[in-house]
Structure formats: structure tokens, C-alpha cells
A and B are shown apart, each in its own frame.
Chain A
Amino acid sequence: MQRLDRAGIEVLLETQQFKSWFNELSGLYHRLEILEVAIERAGEARSEAVFRYDYWREIAEEALLRSADLRNMCQNLRSEVASLENQAFEQLAGFEVARQSATGLWERITAIEHRCDDHAAEASRVRAKARFRDELKRLRTEYSAANEQKEALWHAEEALWLKVAERTLMVPELEVRANRLESRYGVLMQRVEELESRAASLNEELSDERDDLSEVQRQIARLRAAARTSFSCLCHEDFLYWPSGDDSRVVLVVALSNNSKDYNIEVRCGQIYQCDTEKGVRYLEPLSVGSGETERDERLIRFFEEVA
């Protein structure tokens, strides 16, 4: 590294070689900034697309699971209906037996009553009725029991048919719901595929931009290395450094970009500053054009005259 004073650096900054080096570096810094912003944006958009397709895939899968549950429920209901129908047929057979038994008893009662009523004479009719009284009483009791059983079987049969009807009617509604869920699954999966493809394309974009970024960084590193040999200085990211020709503890620096936030003073691109070798650019000082001092400082003379 060559020791330079302010004048030396100012001469160097005006050379064509430095100007073209600086223009190339500024262009690369500008490109770097654009790429970094683009990478941030593409990364954010990709993460968002990934998050969204994961989210919608979960929702779609949930819809499909619910549809499968409904289809299972339909299948179970159909099995239940078949079983209930079997029970109903068995029950119907039992009812038929009970109905026939009740009818048989009713016919026998009616036959006895007719036989009694067929007697023309009142006295013989009364005698006949007295003769069949016990049998009629027994038959009527049996008939009443058989009739009750028949009625009970019919009610049970009706209850079974109601159950069958309930289940049979429920199945189509569940199937429609399952169809709706499957169609929603299809729509959602289409959205998932679109988002996946967007994420993939953003991934490609991101990868291209990262390649570009690496290339720009390589070129910047090459330019920085070139500065060391061409301008005999240290070149870091934001400043070029030369040890001051006047004072070994002082380093003269040239800002490579504007920065009004991160340093103790507002740094302007291309401006020369000075700093201490230990503190570095943590504490920058403006490079004064001169102290403007004269041997006789009128202010101090006036002051001492006033207080004398």
C-alpha cells in the first residue's frame, strides 16, 4: 500500500483508469442491489406459494377424507338396510302366521255363532249357546291374544320399514355430499398444482438470480483485487483506504457509495475522509481543506485585549 496525501488521492480519483474502474464497480453494486432485492422478493413469493399450496393441499385432503367417510357411511347404511329388510321379511312371515292363526280362530268363532243362530226356536238357540259358551269364551280369548300378537307384529314390521326408509333416503343425500366434496377436492387440487408450478418456476427464477448474484460478487471481488494493484490501496466494500502520507496513525478513505445512516457522519460517494487506524470507519472525520489558521488569530487577540 502506498502512502498518499489528500492531493495525491485527488489526482488519482481524476485519472481515466480510476474513473472507469469506479464506473464498473458502481454498475456492479447497482446490479448487486437489484439482484438482492429481486432474490428477496422471489424468495418471499416462493415461500408464500409453498405455504399456500401446503395449506390448500391439507384442505383438499381433508375434503377427500370427509368424502371417503361419507362413502363408507353410505356403504354401512346399505348393509344395514339389507339386514333390516331381511329382518322385516322374517317379521312379515311371523305376522302372516299370526294373521292366519287369528283368522282361523275368528272363522271357528263365527262358525259356532252361526250354528247357534241357525236354530229356529229360541229355546234350542239358547241351549246351543249354553253348550258352546265355554268353547266360545276360550276361542275369543285365544283370538284376542292372537289378534294382539298380530297387531304387535305389524307395528314391529312398520317400525322396521320406517328404519329401512330412513336409511335408504339418507344414502342419496350423503352421496350428493360426497360428490360435492370430491368435486371440491378436484378444484382445490387444481389450485394446489397451479401453486406448485408457480413455486417451481419461482425456484428456477431464484436459482438463476443466485447464479447472477454469485457472478456479480465474483466480478466485484476481481475489481477489488485489481484496486489493490492498480491504485495501491486497500479496498473493502464501502471504502478505499490509503495510509496518510502525513501521519502514520491516520488513514485516508474514499467512500464508494452514499450512506447517511450507518456512520457517524453523512458519507458521500467519492468524498475523501480520514479516520484513525484503530477506530477505522467507525469514526470518520471530514478532511478539512485547511485549518484556516494564521499565526495571529484576531479573535483570540481581541478576547485577551477585552479581558486584560
Chain B
Amino acid sequence: MSGSFDRVEALQASPLFNDLLPLEKQYLADLAVQRNLSAGDVLFEEGDIGDAMFVVVSGELGVEVGSDPQKAEVAILFAPDFVGEMALIDKQPRAARVRAKTDAVLLAISHDNIYSFSRVHRNGFTWLVVNIAKNLAHRLRSMNVTALGQS
């Protein structure tokens, strides 16, 4: 799917953009930058300073943690998963390495893009942040359940 695809549809499929208005999605779709990865390409390394999040449009990516050569794969991402959204909230080092397991196409939305979005679509921006927060809350709850189960 490295050819053409509908960017709005690609974003729409992701829960991160739930309830965004068509105009807002169109605006983000226009700003997003397409990234094509070949199988084995690293999207980002653990420790890299992040300034963008990525929506998977096609292909498969592995999330790896730990140090080489024994990195453990902790998750697999498919369309319409997203990764790196925490970088939009704080510019902290990436928590894991993400590498393409197959050829993959992604849409990158950078910090600058979100800033532009916030100036033009204030409510849309708020809603996007709510969606990110919902996602983080969900993940935190899952981790809590796991941690409690282990203890």
C-alpha cells in the first residue's frame, strides 16, 4: 500500500481521531507526512527524542524493549494502531524501539502539526487530547490490573 490511499480514511480508522469533525480530520490529513518503511527498518530507537506520533496505515510493526541482542517483542502493531502519541504530550525519550516486521506505510503527525491544528481547530485539538488521555488511562488501568494480578 505504498501507493495512494485516502489519508482521511486512514486517520478515521484510528480511535485517536474518534469524533473529530470531517474538517478537522481533513486538516490533520493534509498536514500528516507519509512514511514508507521496508521490512526490518527501524521507525525509532528506544531513547530517541520523539516529536511525532505515527498511525499505521498498512503493514506490521514490532515494539521491542530491552537491550540488544536480546530485545523482547512486547507488542505487534497493525492498521489502525498508532504509536508514539506520548511524544505529542511531552518530548521525552522513546520508551521502546519500533521496527517494521513487513513493508509498512504510516502517517506521521508531528508536534508542529498538532500546534497548527490547535490554532485552527481549538475544540478539535481538545478532543484529540481527550482521546490521547483516554488511551493512556486505558493503558494505565490495564497495567494496574496486571501489576495487581502479579502481586
Contacts and interface: CB of A to CB of B under 8 A. Distances in A.
Interface of A: 264-266, 283, 285-286, 288-293, 297, 299-300, 303
9 tightest CB-CB pairs across the interface, nearest first? A286-B30, A292-B23, A297-B123, A285-B116, A288-B120, A292-B21, A299-B19, A293-B123, A291-B121
Contacts of A285: 31, 116, 120
B27 A288 contact: yes
B33 interface: yes
Nearest to A260: B34
Contacts of A288: 23, 27, 120-121
Interface of B: 19, 21-24, 26-27, 30-31, 33, 112, 116, 120-124, 126-127, 130
28 contacts: A264-B31, A264-B33, A264-B112, A265-B30, A265-B33, A266-B30, A283-B112, A285-B31, A285-B116, A285-B120, A286-B30, A288-B27, A288-B120, A290-B23, A291-B121, A291-B122, A291-B123, A292-B22, A292-B23, A292-B24, A292-B121, A293-B122, A293-B124, A297-B127, A299-B127, A300-B126, A300-B127, A303-B130
A297 B121 CA distance: 12
Contacts of A286: 26-27, 30-31
Nearest to B31: A265
Contacts of A303: 127, 130
B7 to A, nearest CB: 9
A265 B24 CA distance: 16
Given A283-B112, A292-B21, A292-B24, A299 B30 contact: no
Nearest to B22: A292
A293 B30 CA distance: 19
A215 to B, nearest CB: 38
A293 B119 CA distance: 12
A16 B121 CA distance: 35
Contacts, number: 47
A300 B19 CA distance: 10
Given A264-B33, A265-B30, A286-B26, 12 more contacts: A283-B112, A285-B31, A286-B27, A286-B30, A291-B121, A291-B122, A292-B24, A293-B123, A293-B124, A299-B127, A300-B127, A303-B127
Nearest to A287: B120
- B21, B22, B31, B116 interface centre (most CB from chain A within 10 Å): B116
B43 to A, nearest CB: 18
Contacts of B121: 288, 291-293
A109 B98 CA distance: 119
A283 B127 CA distance: 24
A184 to B, nearest CB: 52
B1 to A, nearest CB: 17
Nearest to B121: A291
Nearest to B113: A264
A88 to B, nearest CB: 83
Contacts of B31: 264-265, 285-286
A121 to B, nearest CB: 127
Nearest to A250: B119
Contacts of B22: 292
Contacts of B123: 291, 293, 297, 299-300
Nearest to A307: B130
Name, among A286, A289, A292, the residue most crowded by chain B CB atoms within 10 Å (CB to CB): A292
A288 B122 CA distance: 13
B141 to A, nearest CB: 15
Nearest to B130: A303
B69 to A, nearest CB: 36
A298 to B, nearest CB: 9
Contacts of B112: 264, 283
